[in-house]
Amino acid sequence: MAISLTDRALPEKLPDWGVLVLESHHSPQFKMEWRTHPFVKVVYVLRGCGRFHLGSKNQAFSAGDVILIAPQIRNRIVDDPGSAASLYVCCMATSLFDFDTRLLERLPTRVLVRDGQFANRVASLLRRLVHWQDSTSRRRPAGMVADALKLMITIDQRNEQIVQRPLLTCDERALVQAYLDSLPSRFFDETTIDAAARQLDIPRRTFTKLFTELAGETWLHRVRRLAIDHAKRRLQHTELPIASIAFECGFNDLSTFYRQFKTQTGQSPGHYRNQHEAS
């Protein structure tokens, strides 16, 4: 099926639940008038390049970039000559953030330059939002709101990284170091080393080599060690069932959790908890 091209910016009418996703493929004749909206807008650049006019700012964009536009910011897109952009746009009502208005205050209008891991996570969430929007499930509103909030959390984390250190370049060592730094807060989401390498858009062999050099241990050993360290804390400070702790740590198989816990501590989870309570 041929892609439907547009000469003008698409209308942005949010549904009752406050989340709308648009797929905008520009024609060579695309033109956008200045636009101001009362909602938050996140734009993912699938293809093409150009400039985003954001208030008084004029920032270049290219494939893989993510653009965050706060409410009431005057904006428009100008494609580079000979480059018709393809964009995914997520619009979110500000009412979704009434429980945490500081989240909106922390998110400045800006172009977030492509970073493999971040761009892949944003693209994945937008794909999920597209599927929710196209579905007829009664869970569509809740699913879209949940994934839209995940999208904003992902962007908030990226902004925090930019504030804490210079913007990452495409240097593979820097990307792997950033991934390594993020593992303590996301180890439970990691599935395979292949998936981790794909997130960063780095060959598996290169990722494995750099990770081992930077971490001093293999990817699998670091992920499992973080999981068991978390389990030890939960066993010490909570009365959660062991099965629940295993689930928190990313283990779907209880026997694997028991085996890994004993390998690293020399004790079963139950014995570890009893020993701590006894002390």
Numbered ranges of CATH 1.10.10.60 in the chain: 187-278
Question: What per-residue confidence (pLDDT) applies to 167?
Answer: 39
Distance CA 163, CA 179 (A): 16
Distance CA(232)–CA(237), nearest Å, equals: 9
CATH topology of domain 187-278: Arc Repressor Mutant, subunit A (1.10.10)
**Which residue in 133, 249, 265, 263 sits closest to 188, CA to CA?**
249
In this predicted structure, what is the pLDDT of residue 4?
79
Query: What pLDDT does 36 receive?
Result: 94
User: Which positions ≥6 away from 248 have C-beta within 8 Å?
Assistant: 188, 230, 231, 234, 240
In the chain, list all ranges with CATH 2.60.120.280. Answer: 6-168
pLDDT of residue 166: 41
| % of the chain residues with pLDDT over 70 | 94
- The predicted structure's pLDDT at residue 106: 80
Could you give the strand order of the β-sheet that contains 57-61, starting from the edge strand earlier in sequence? Answer: 57-61, 50-54, 75-79
CB neighbour class for 200 (10 Å; exposed up to 12, middle 13-18, buried from 19): buried
pLDDT value at position 168?
A: 39
What's the whole-number mean pLDDT along residues 20-42? Answer: 93
Tell me the CA distances in angstroms from 188 to 47, 183, 231, one per residue in order. Answer: 32, 9, 11
Determine the Cα–Cα distance for residues 61 and 83; give it in Å rounded to an integer.
11
The average confidence (pLDDT) of the chain is: 87
pLDDT digits (tens, 9 = 90+) for 62-95: 888 999 999 999 999 999 998 889 999 999 999 9
The pLDDT of residue 162: 62
pLDDT at position 164 over 50:
no
Q: Is 37 helix (H, G, I), strand (E, B) or coil?
A: coil
> What CATH number is given for 6-168 in this structure?
2.60.120.280
Is the pLDDT at 54 greater than 50? The verdict is yes
If one counts every other C-beta atom within 10 angstroms of the C-beta of residue 3, the result is 8
- Please check the confidence at residue 149 and state whether its pLDDT lies above 60: yes
Three-state SS across 123-141?
Answer: HHHHHHHHHHHHCCCCCHH
Note whether 194 and 205 are within 8 A (CB).
no
Q: What is the pLDDT of residues 102-135, one digit of tens each?
A: 888 887 788 887 766 788 888 889 999 999 999 8
Strand order in the sheet with 86-92: 6-8, 19-31, 86-92, 40-47, 66-69, 110-112
Out of 136-145, 168-177, 244-253, least confident range: 168-177
β-pair type (57-61, 50-54): antiparallel
Inter-residue contact 157 to 125 (CB < 8 Å): no
Q: What is the CA radius of gyration of the chain?
A: 22
Is it the case that residue 176 has pLDDT exceeding 60?
A: yes
pLDDT at 104: 80
Q: Which letter does DSSP use for residue 63 in this model?
A: T
Candidate from 1-15, 29-43, 198-212 with smallest mean pLDDT:
1-15
